[in-house]
Amino acid sequence: MNAQSRSAGAVLVACPQCHSLVRVPEARAGEHPKCPRCKAQILTGEAVALDGASFAAHVERATLPVLVDFWAPWCGPCRMVAPVLERTAALRAAELRLAKVNTDEQPQLAERFGIRSIPTLILFREGRELARQSGAVDAASLSRWLDRSLA
């Protein structure tokens, strides 16, 4: 978190609908805050599909950590890990955002981050890559990896 967010006890989160940045007090993150612009719920615990423009808002400008799943619809391991990611996102809705980048539709993002195999998970905080994992992962392994990476 940046110094301003830390001192205010708040995180910046991009709205999953309009992609506006919203300041959410950390103490109120579990209270289902809404976007002041479009009134959508901010921390839904559901995956957000990203393209080049929305990637900047959610990953580069927001301070809430974002777990980005680089995937493709034809990829068997990607489909296998999707329910694990969805459950993790729901359980950790106030702690991180799950985002998905379809590498077939967003090849420029896949190239930018050197994605060579899918699924690849990259954990970002304030635009910086914290950790990367390629291949399907079970829920327990994912949880341990996130705990280590976010510590």
Which of 15, 35, 38, 78 does the annotation list as catalytic? Answer: 78
Burial 68-106 (b: 16+ CB within 10 A, else e): bbbbeeebeebeebbebbbebbeebbbbbbbbbbbbeeb
- CA 12 to chain centroid, in Å, comes to 13
Cα distance between the two ends of the chain: 13
Among 52, 50, 29, smallest CA distance to 108 is for 52
Is 15 one of the catalytic residues? Answer: no
Q: Residue 126: CB partners within 8 Å, gap ≥ 6?
A: 1, 2, 62, 63
Among 102, 48, 52, 49, smallest CA distance to 72 is for 102
Backbone angles phi, psi at 132, to 5 degrees: -140, 140
Q: List the catalytic residues.
A: 75, 78
